[in-house]
Amino acid sequence: MVYSLNFIQFQNENIMISNNLINKTVVITGASSGVGLAAAEAFAQEGCNLVLAARGKEALENAVEICQTLGAFAVGIPTDVSDFKDVEHLTEEALKISGTIDVWVNNAGVMATGRYEETPIEVIDQVIKTNLLGYMHGARSILPIFKKQKYGVLINNISIGGWMPAPYGTAYSASKYGIRGMTECLQGEVSDEPDIHICGLYPSIQKSTGNMHSAKYSGLDFKIPPTASDPKKIASAMVEMAKNPQKSKFTDFSSLMMKGMYSIMPKPLINTTSAALRLLMKEDSETDTDGNILTPSKNPMRIYGETMLTPTKKSKNLLITGLGIAALIFISRQLRPKA
Protein backbone atom coordinates (compact mmCIF):
# COMPACT_ATOMS: atom_id res chain seq x y z
CA MET A 1 0.00 0.00 0.00
CA VAL A 2 1.35 3.44 -0.95
CA TYR A 3 -0.15 6.65 0.38
CA SER A 4 -0.37 9.81 -1.71
CA LEU A 5 -0.03 12.99 0.38
CA ASN A 6 -1.05 16.47 -0.66
CA PHE A 7 1.25 18.47 1.53
CA ILE A 8 4.61 20.22 1.22
CA GLN A 9 7.47 18.20 2.69
CA PHE A 10 9.81 20.00 5.03
CA GLN A 11 13.23 20.48 3.49
CA ASN A 12 14.90 18.66 6.36
CA GLU A 13 12.64 15.91 7.70
CA ASN A 14 15.23 14.77 10.24
CA ILE A 15 14.76 17.86 12.41
CA MET A 16 11.98 17.93 15.01
CA ILE A 17 10.54 21.46 15.15
CA SER A 18 9.53 22.37 18.69
CA ASN A 19 5.89 23.39 19.13
CA ASN A 20 5.10 22.49 15.53
CA LEU A 21 3.52 19.15 14.71
CA ILE A 22 2.25 20.03 11.24
CA ASN A 23 2.78 17.10 8.85
CA LYS A 24 4.45 15.01 11.56
CA THR A 25 3.57 11.32 11.42
CA VAL A 26 1.91 10.14 14.62
CA VAL A 27 0.96 6.54 15.42
CA ILE A 28 -1.75 6.01 18.06
CA THR A 29 -2.76 2.56 19.32
CA GLY A 30 -6.20 1.92 20.80
CA ALA A 31 -7.50 4.83 18.74
CA SER A 32 -11.06 3.68 18.10
CA SER A 33 -12.65 4.96 21.33
CA GLY A 34 -12.05 6.62 24.68
CA VAL A 35 -8.72 8.34 25.29
CA GLY A 36 -7.31 6.99 22.02
CA LEU A 37 -10.06 8.61 19.97
CA ALA A 38 -9.66 11.85 21.93
CA ALA A 39 -5.92 11.74 21.17
CA ALA A 40 -6.59 11.13 17.47
CA GLU A 41 -8.83 14.21 17.35
CA ALA A 42 -6.29 16.32 19.26
CA PHE A 43 -3.37 15.41 16.97
CA ALA A 44 -5.61 15.85 13.91
CA GLN A 45 -6.28 19.42 14.98
CA GLU A 46 -2.51 19.95 15.09
CA GLY A 47 -2.23 19.06 11.40
CA CYS A 48 -0.51 15.71 11.93
CA ASN A 49 -0.53 12.72 9.60
CA LEU A 50 -2.26 10.04 11.66
CA VAL A 51 -1.82 6.29 11.64
CA LEU A 52 -4.55 4.89 13.86
CA ALA A 53 -4.50 1.35 15.23
CA ALA A 54 -7.16 -0.80 16.93
CA ARG A 55 -8.61 -4.28 16.63
CA GLY A 56 -12.10 -3.35 15.43
CA LYS A 57 -12.09 -2.43 11.74
CA GLU A 58 -15.46 -0.64 11.63
CA ALA A 59 -14.74 1.54 14.68
CA LEU A 60 -11.27 2.27 13.30
CA GLU A 61 -12.74 3.45 10.01
CA ASN A 62 -15.05 5.76 11.95
CA ALA A 63 -12.08 7.24 13.83
CA VAL A 64 -10.25 7.82 10.54
CA GLU A 65 -13.30 9.57 9.11
CA ILE A 66 -13.53 11.86 12.14
CA CYS A 67 -9.88 12.88 11.76
CA GLN A 68 -10.25 13.43 8.04
CA THR A 69 -13.27 15.66 8.73
CA LEU A 70 -10.94 17.74 10.93
CA GLY A 71 -8.68 18.21 7.90
CA ALA A 72 -5.98 15.70 8.81
CA PHE A 73 -4.46 12.93 6.72
CA ALA A 74 -5.40 9.70 8.48
CA VAL A 75 -5.28 5.97 7.82
CA GLY A 76 -6.41 3.05 9.95
CA ILE A 77 -4.42 -0.15 10.33
CA PRO A 78 -6.27 -3.00 12.12
CA THR A 79 -3.80 -4.09 14.80
CA ASP A 80 -3.73 -6.40 17.79
CA VAL A 81 -0.84 -4.96 19.82
CA SER A 82 -0.45 -8.25 21.71
CA ASP A 83 0.84 -9.74 18.42
CA PHE A 84 4.30 -8.38 17.55
CA LYS A 85 3.84 -9.19 13.86
CA ASP A 86 0.78 -6.92 13.81
CA VAL A 87 2.80 -4.13 15.41
CA GLU A 88 5.63 -4.60 12.90
CA HIS A 89 3.07 -4.32 10.10
CA LEU A 90 1.68 -1.15 11.68
CA THR A 91 5.19 0.33 11.74
CA GLU A 92 5.85 -0.58 8.12
CA GLU A 93 2.61 1.03 6.97
CA ALA A 94 3.31 4.19 8.97
CA LEU A 95 6.74 4.54 7.35
CA LYS A 96 5.16 4.53 3.91
CA ILE A 97 3.65 7.96 4.55
CA SER A 98 6.81 10.05 4.65
CA GLY A 99 9.61 7.65 5.51
CA THR A 100 9.68 8.72 9.15
CA ILE A 101 7.63 8.28 12.33
CA ASP A 102 7.83 11.29 14.63
CA VAL A 103 5.58 10.33 17.54
CA TRP A 104 4.34 6.95 18.75
CA VAL A 105 1.56 6.83 21.36
CA ASN A 106 1.21 3.55 23.24
CA ASN A 107 -2.38 3.76 24.43
CA ALA A 108 -4.22 0.47 23.72
CA GLY A 109 -5.26 -1.14 26.97
CA VAL A 110 -7.84 -3.38 28.61
CA MET A 111 -8.98 -3.93 32.18
CA ALA A 112 -10.57 -6.72 34.19
CA THR A 113 -11.94 -6.26 37.70
CA GLY A 114 -13.16 -8.83 40.18
CA ARG A 115 -11.71 -11.40 42.56
CA TYR A 116 -8.49 -12.69 41.09
CA GLU A 117 -9.43 -16.35 41.62
CA GLU A 118 -12.74 -15.78 39.82
CA THR A 119 -11.12 -14.16 36.78
CA PRO A 120 -10.61 -16.62 33.87
CA ILE A 121 -6.94 -17.38 33.30
CA GLU A 122 -7.22 -16.59 29.58
CA VAL A 123 -8.48 -13.12 30.54
CA ILE A 124 -5.60 -12.61 32.97
CA ASP A 125 -3.10 -13.63 30.29
CA GLN A 126 -4.63 -11.35 27.68
CA VAL A 127 -4.62 -8.33 29.98
CA ILE A 128 -0.87 -8.78 30.37
CA LYS A 129 -0.40 -9.42 26.65
CA THR A 130 -2.37 -6.35 25.58
CA ASN A 131 -1.24 -3.88 28.21
CA LEU A 132 2.35 -4.79 29.04
CA LEU A 133 3.50 -6.75 25.99
CA GLY A 134 1.52 -4.41 23.73
CA TYR A 135 3.52 -1.42 25.00
CA MET A 136 6.76 -3.39 24.82
CA HIS A 137 5.97 -4.41 21.25
CA GLY A 138 5.38 -0.79 20.33
CA ALA A 139 8.64 0.32 21.93
CA ARG A 140 10.60 -2.55 20.37
CA SER A 141 9.23 -1.71 16.94
CA ILE A 142 9.71 2.07 17.03
CA LEU A 143 13.05 2.45 18.84
CA PRO A 144 15.17 1.25 15.89
CA ILE A 145 13.33 3.79 13.71
CA PHE A 146 13.97 6.59 16.19
CA LYS A 147 17.65 5.69 16.46
CA LYS A 148 18.01 5.66 12.69
CA GLN A 149 16.30 9.06 12.47
CA LYS A 150 18.19 10.35 15.53
CA TYR A 151 14.92 11.69 16.97
CA GLY A 152 11.42 10.70 18.04
CA VAL A 153 8.96 10.75 20.94
CA LEU A 154 7.44 7.62 22.49
CA ILE A 155 4.49 8.41 24.77
CA ASN A 156 3.29 5.68 27.11
CA ASN A 157 -0.17 6.28 28.56
CA ILE A 158 0.43 4.40 31.81
CA SER A 159 -2.20 5.66 34.32
CA ILE A 160 -1.94 6.20 38.06
CA GLY A 161 -2.12 2.40 38.17
CA GLY A 162 1.60 2.46 37.59
CA TRP A 163 2.10 3.94 41.06
CA MET A 164 -0.70 2.40 43.12
CA PRO A 165 -2.70 -0.82 42.63
CA ALA A 166 -6.22 -0.79 41.28
CA PRO A 167 -8.45 -2.60 43.84
CA TYR A 168 -9.57 -5.98 42.49
CA GLY A 169 -7.65 -5.30 39.28
CA THR A 170 -4.65 -7.53 39.91
CA ALA A 171 -3.69 -8.30 36.31
CA TYR A 172 -4.25 -4.68 35.31
CA SER A 173 -2.08 -3.44 38.17
CA ALA A 174 0.68 -5.91 37.33
CA SER A 175 0.68 -4.67 33.73
CA LYS A 176 0.77 -0.99 34.67
CA TYR A 177 3.59 -1.42 37.20
CA GLY A 178 5.43 -3.29 34.45
CA ILE A 179 4.90 -0.49 31.90
CA ARG A 180 6.28 2.05 34.34
CA GLY A 181 9.36 -0.14 34.88
CA MET A 182 9.82 -0.52 31.12
CA THR A 183 9.48 3.23 30.61
CA GLU A 184 12.04 4.17 33.25
CA CYS A 185 14.49 1.54 32.02
CA LEU A 186 14.24 2.73 28.42
CA GLN A 187 14.78 6.30 29.54
CA GLY A 188 18.18 5.18 30.76
CA GLU A 189 18.90 3.36 27.52
CA VAL A 190 18.34 6.47 25.40
CA SER A 191 20.01 8.88 27.82
CA ASP A 192 22.81 9.28 25.26
CA GLU A 193 20.30 10.21 22.54
CA PRO A 194 19.31 13.84 23.25
CA ASP A 195 16.51 13.95 20.67
CA ILE A 196 14.88 10.60 21.50
CA HIS A 197 12.37 10.82 24.32
CA ILE A 198 10.53 8.12 26.30
CA CYS A 199 7.62 9.69 28.17
CA GLY A 200 5.23 8.36 30.79
CA LEU A 201 1.79 9.82 31.43
CA TYR A 202 0.00 9.07 34.71
CA PRO A 203 -3.67 10.07 34.52
CA SER A 204 -6.34 9.14 37.05
CA ILE A 205 -9.58 7.33 36.18
CA GLN A 206 -11.06 8.68 32.96
CA LYS A 207 -14.62 9.63 32.05
CA SER A 208 -14.19 7.51 28.91
CA THR A 209 -15.74 4.35 27.48
CA GLY A 210 -12.92 2.30 29.03
CA ASN A 211 -14.96 1.17 32.03
CA MET A 212 -17.95 0.31 29.83
CA HIS A 213 -15.74 -1.95 27.70
CA SER A 214 -13.86 -3.57 30.59
CA ALA A 215 -14.30 -7.12 31.86
CA LYS A 216 -16.11 -7.50 35.19
CA TYR A 217 -16.37 -10.53 37.44
CA SER A 218 -17.61 -11.41 40.94
CA GLY A 219 -20.84 -9.54 40.21
CA LEU A 220 -18.84 -6.31 40.32
CA ASP A 221 -20.61 -3.87 38.01
CA PHE A 222 -19.68 -0.32 38.89
CA LYS A 223 -19.79 3.04 37.13
CA ILE A 224 -17.04 5.62 37.11
CA PRO A 225 -17.56 8.67 39.36
CA PRO A 226 -18.72 11.91 37.74
CA THR A 227 -15.55 13.54 39.09
CA ALA A 228 -13.40 11.40 36.77
CA SER A 229 -11.05 13.24 34.43
CA ASP A 230 -11.96 14.40 30.93
CA PRO A 231 -10.27 12.21 28.27
CA LYS A 232 -9.70 15.30 26.15
CA LYS A 233 -7.49 16.67 28.91
CA ILE A 234 -5.07 13.75 28.68
CA ALA A 235 -5.25 14.01 24.89
CA SER A 236 -4.07 17.61 25.21
CA ALA A 237 -1.30 16.41 27.53
CA MET A 238 -0.18 13.95 24.85
CA VAL A 239 0.04 16.73 22.28
CA GLU A 240 1.98 18.89 24.72
CA MET A 241 4.29 15.98 25.51
CA ALA A 242 4.95 15.52 21.79
CA LYS A 243 5.91 19.18 21.51
CA ASN A 244 7.84 19.47 24.77
CA PRO A 245 8.80 15.96 25.97
CA GLN A 246 9.11 15.17 29.68
CA LYS A 247 10.07 11.91 31.33
CA SER A 248 6.85 11.79 33.33
CA LYS A 249 3.72 13.82 33.89
CA PHE A 250 0.68 13.53 36.13
CA THR A 251 -2.07 14.86 33.91
CA ASP A 252 -4.50 15.86 36.65
CA PHE A 253 -4.40 16.84 40.29
CA SER A 254 -6.30 13.75 41.44
CA SER A 255 -3.65 11.37 40.08
CA LEU A 256 -0.90 13.33 41.82
CA MET A 257 -2.94 13.38 45.03
CA MET A 258 -3.57 9.62 44.89
CA LYS A 259 0.14 8.94 44.35
CA GLY A 260 0.96 11.09 47.38
CA MET A 261 -1.67 9.46 49.57
CA TYR A 262 -0.56 5.96 48.59
CA SER A 263 3.08 6.75 49.34
CA ILE A 264 2.11 7.94 52.84
CA MET A 265 -0.44 5.27 53.82
CA PRO A 266 -0.46 2.45 51.26
CA LYS A 267 -2.14 -0.25 53.35
CA PRO A 268 -5.06 1.82 54.70
CA LEU A 269 -5.76 3.21 51.23
CA ILE A 270 -5.80 -0.09 49.33
CA ASN A 271 -7.68 -1.85 52.15
CA THR A 272 -10.35 0.87 52.32
CA THR A 273 -10.91 1.05 48.56
CA SER A 274 -11.00 -2.74 48.34
CA ALA A 275 -13.60 -2.86 51.12
CA ALA A 276 -15.71 -0.31 49.23
CA LEU A 277 -15.67 -2.45 46.08
CA ARG A 278 -16.57 -5.57 48.08
CA LEU A 279 -19.84 -3.83 49.01
CA LEU A 280 -20.69 -3.65 45.30
CA MET A 281 -20.09 -7.35 44.68
CA LYS A 282 -22.99 -9.74 44.30
CA GLU A 283 -23.24 -13.46 44.90
CA ASP A 284 -24.70 -14.14 41.46
CA SER A 285 -22.66 -13.58 38.31
CA GLU A 286 -25.38 -12.34 35.98
CA THR A 287 -23.48 -9.10 35.38
CA ASP A 288 -20.14 -10.80 34.66
CA THR A 289 -18.69 -10.04 31.26
CA ASP A 290 -15.41 -10.60 29.39
CA GLY A 291 -15.73 -7.10 27.95
CA ASN A 292 -13.19 -6.29 25.26
CA ILE A 293 -10.41 -8.51 26.62
CA LEU A 294 -10.71 -11.37 24.14
CA THR A 295 -12.63 -9.59 21.37
CA PRO A 296 -12.64 -6.03 19.97
CA SER A 297 -14.60 -3.38 21.83
CA LYS A 298 -18.28 -3.09 21.01
CA ASN A 299 -20.57 -0.07 21.06
CA PRO A 300 -20.52 2.61 22.20
CA MET A 301 -17.37 3.57 20.25
CA ARG A 302 -16.99 7.16 21.35
CA ILE A 303 -14.84 9.24 23.69
CA TYR A 304 -17.09 9.59 26.73
CA GLY A 305 -18.61 6.78 28.75
CA GLU A 306 -21.28 6.47 31.41
CA THR A 307 -20.74 7.75 34.93
CA MET A 308 -22.73 7.12 38.10
CA LEU A 309 -24.96 10.05 37.17
CA THR A 310 -25.43 9.11 33.52
CA PRO A 311 -29.06 8.10 32.96
CA THR A 312 -29.38 4.63 31.47
CA LYS A 313 -32.04 3.60 28.96
CA LYS A 314 -33.89 1.80 31.75
CA SER A 315 -33.84 4.82 34.03
CA LYS A 316 -34.97 7.05 31.17
CA ASN A 317 -37.91 4.72 30.49
CA LEU A 318 -38.84 4.73 34.17
CA LEU A 319 -38.67 8.51 34.20
CA ILE A 320 -40.89 8.79 31.12
CA THR A 321 -43.35 6.27 32.58
CA GLY A 322 -43.42 8.15 35.86
CA LEU A 323 -44.03 11.47 34.14
CA GLY A 324 -46.80 9.87 32.09
CA ILE A 325 -48.55 8.53 35.20
CA ALA A 326 -48.18 11.89 36.91
CA ALA A 327 -49.68 13.64 33.87
CA LEU A 328 -52.67 11.24 33.83
CA ILE A 329 -53.30 11.81 37.54
CA PHE A 330 -53.12 15.58 37.03
CA ILE A 331 -55.52 15.47 34.05
CA SER A 332 -57.99 13.18 35.85
CA ARG A 333 -58.06 15.55 38.79
CA GLN A 334 -58.69 18.50 36.54
CA LEU A 335 -61.57 16.69 34.82
CA ARG A 336 -63.12 15.45 38.09
CA PRO A 337 -66.53 17.07 38.76
CA LYS A 338 -66.34 19.60 41.52
CA ALA A 339 -68.79 19.43 44.43
Q: Which residues pair with 200 in a beta bridge?
A: 156, 248
Of 93, 224, 114, the closest CA to residue 170 belongs to 114
Q: Which residues pair with 154 in a beta bridge?
A: 104, 198
Distance of CA 222 to the CA centre of its chain: 18
SS3 27: strand
Instruction: Return the active site residues.
Output: 172
Question: How far apart (Å, rounded) are the C-alpha atoms in residues 80 and 54?
Answer: 7
| Radius of gyration for the chain, computed over Cα atoms and rounded to the nearest angstrom | 23
Helix 57-69 / helix 34-44 crossing angle, nearest 10 deg: 30
SS3 285: coil
Distance of CA 125 to the CA centre of its chain: 19
SS3 67: helix
Q: Where are the beta strands (DSSP E) in the chain?
A: 25-29, 49-54, 73-78, 103-106, 112-113, 152-157, 196-201, 215-216, 248-249
How many Cα neighbours within 13 Å face the side chain of 249?
21
Task: Output helix, strand, coil percentages for the chain, rounded to the nearest 5.
Answer: 45, 15, 40
